[in-house]
Amino acid sequence: MWFRRKSKTLVEFDEIFMDSSNLPAFNQERLEGRIELPIKKRGVLLIGGIFLMITLVFFGQLVNLQIVKGAEYRERSDSNSLHESLIIAERGVIYDRNGEMLAWNGTDYGESRGFALRAYSDRAGLGQLLGYVSYPQKDKNGFYYRTDYIGRTGLESAYEDILHGENGRQIIEVNVGSDIISALTVEKPRAGQSFTTSVDAALSEAMYNIISTSTEKAGFRSGAGAIMDIETGEILAMTSFPSYDPEVMANGSDVELIESYNNDDRFPFLNKVAGGSYTPGSIVKPLMAYAALAEGVISPERKITSNGALIIPNPYNPDQPTRFGDWRAHGATDMRTAIAYSSDVYFYIVGGGLPAIAAPQAGLDTFTGLGIARIDKYMKMFGLGEKTGIDFPGEQAGLIPTPEWKEETFDEEWRLGNTYHTSIGQFGFLITPLQMLRAFSAIGNGGKLVTPTLVKGTKPEITDLNLDQSYLNVVREGMRMAVTVDGGTVRGLDLKYVSIAGKSGTAELGNDNEHVNSWVTGFWPYDNPKYAFILLMERAPRTNSLGAGWVMRDVFDWMHENRPEYLTN
Residues 315-330 have a mean pLDDT of: 90
CA dist 243 to 125, 150, 210, 272, Å?
5, 21, 13, 10
Rounded to an integer, the average pLDDT of 21-47 is: 63
Report whether pLDDT(486) > 80: yes
Q: How far is CA 186 from CA 111, 166, 315, 491, in A?
A: 21, 14, 87, 67
Per-residue pLDDT, averaged over 422-426, amounts to 96
CB 345 within 8 A of CB 304: yes
> Cα 337 to the chain's mean position, in Å?
38
Fold topology of 201-567 = Beta-lactamase (3.40.710)
Helix (H, G, I), strand (E, B), or coil: what is residue 299? coil
Element (H, E) at 84: strand 81-87
Whole-angstrom distance, CA of residue 489 vs CA of residue 508: 17
pLDDT of residue 361: 94
Mean pLDDT across the chain = 88
CA distance 539 to 542: 9
In angstroms, rounded to a whole number, what is the distance separating the alpha carbons of residues 149 and 364? 66
Length of the chain as a residue count: 569
Cα–Cα distance for residue pair 123/215, rounded to 1 Å: 19
8 Å CB contact between 474 and 300: yes
**pLDDT tier at 332 (50, 70, 90 boundaries)?**
very high
Average pLDDT over residues 425-436: 96
Q: How far is CA 461 from the centre of its chain?
A: 19
* Torsion sign, CA atoms 258, 262, 264, 266: positive
Give 108's pLDDT tier (boundaries 50, 70, 90): low
| Continuous segment of H or E residues that includes residue 504 | strand 501-509
What is the arithmetic mean of pLDDT over 293-314? 96
DSSP 8-state secondary structure symbol assigned to residue 359: G
Residue type, 443: I
Strands (E), 242-383: 304-306, 309-312, 322-325, 331-333
Classify strands 195-196 and 94-95 as parallel, antiparallel or unpaired: parallel
Q: Are 420 and 281 in contact (CB under 8 A)?
A: no
State the pLDDT confidence band at 1, using cuts at 50, 70 and 90: very low
With the CA atoms of 309, 314, 317 and 321 taken in that order, what torsion angle do they form, in degrees rounded to the nearest 10? -10
d(CA 456, CA 441): 18
Residues in Cβ contact with 389 at an 8 Å cutoff, skipping those fewer than 6 apart: 451, 452, 461
Dihedral class, residue 60 (left if φ above 0, else alpha if ψ from -120 to 50, else beta): alpha
Distance CA 227, CA 521 (A): 10
Domain with CATH 3.90.1310.10 in the chain: 82-196
Please state, for a pLDDT cut of 90, what percent of the chain lies above it: 69
Percent with pLDDT over 70 in the chain: 85
Structural fold of domain 82-196 = Penicillin-binding protein 2a (Domain 2) (3.90.1310)
Neighbouring C-beta atoms of residue 495, cutoff 10 Å: 15
Residues 505 and 199: their CA atoms lie apart, in Å, by 26
Residues 315, 510, 325: CA angle, nearest 5 degrees: 40
Angstrom distance (rounded) from CA 224 to CA 129: 12
Q: Is pLDDT above 60 for 524?
A: yes
Query: Which helix (DSSP H) or strand (DSSP E) does residue 207 occupy?
Result: helix 201-218
Mean pLDDT within 382-406 = 96
Residue 215 phi/psi, 5° resolution? Answer: -65, -40
Q: What is the pLDDT of residue 3?
A: 45
Q: Give the pLDDT of residue 419.
A: 97
H helical segments located in 309-432? 335-341, 344-352, 372-381, 403-410, 416-423
What is the rounded CA–CA span in Å between residue 31 and residue 306? 125
How many whole angstroms separate alpha carbon 395 and alpha carbon 433? Answer: 11
- Per-residue pLDDT, 267: 95
Which DSSP symbol is given to 353?
-
Tell how strand 150-151 and strand 168-174 pair up: unpaired
pLDDT at 57: 77
Give pairs for 22-29: CB < 8 Å, separation 24+: none
- Which is more confident, 255 or 176? 255
Which pLDDT value is given to residue 96? 98
Distance from C-alpha of 187 to C-alpha of 449, rounded to nearest angstrom: 47
CATH 3.40.710.10 residue spans of the chain: 201-567
Rounded to 5 degrees, φ, ψ at 235 are -80, 115
364 CB-side CA count, 13 A: 26
What are 63-78's pLDDT values in tens digits? 766 676 666 656 555 5
Q: What is the pLDDT of residues 46-101, one digit of tens each?
A: 777 787 888 887 777 777 666 766 666 565 555 566 666 788 899 999 999 999 99
Q: Would the pLDDT of 140 be above 90?
A: no
Q: What is the rounded average pLDDT of the residues 486-494?
A: 96
Question: Nearest Cα to 272, choosing from 489, 401, 43, 437?
Answer: 437
Phi, psi of 314 (to 5 degrees): -100, 105
Q: What share of the chain is helix, strand, coil (3-state, %, to 5)?
A: 35, 20, 40
Distance CA 429, CA 299 (A): 26
| C-alpha span between 205 and 130 (Å, rounded) | 13
The per-residue pLDDT for 2 is: 44
Q: What are phi and psi of 430, to 5 degrees?
A: -135, 130
Strands 235-241 and 322-325: unpaired
503 closest CA partner among 486, 481, 485: 481
pLDDT single digits (tens) 237-292: 999 999 999 999 999 889 999 999 999 999 999 999 999 999 999 999 999 999 99
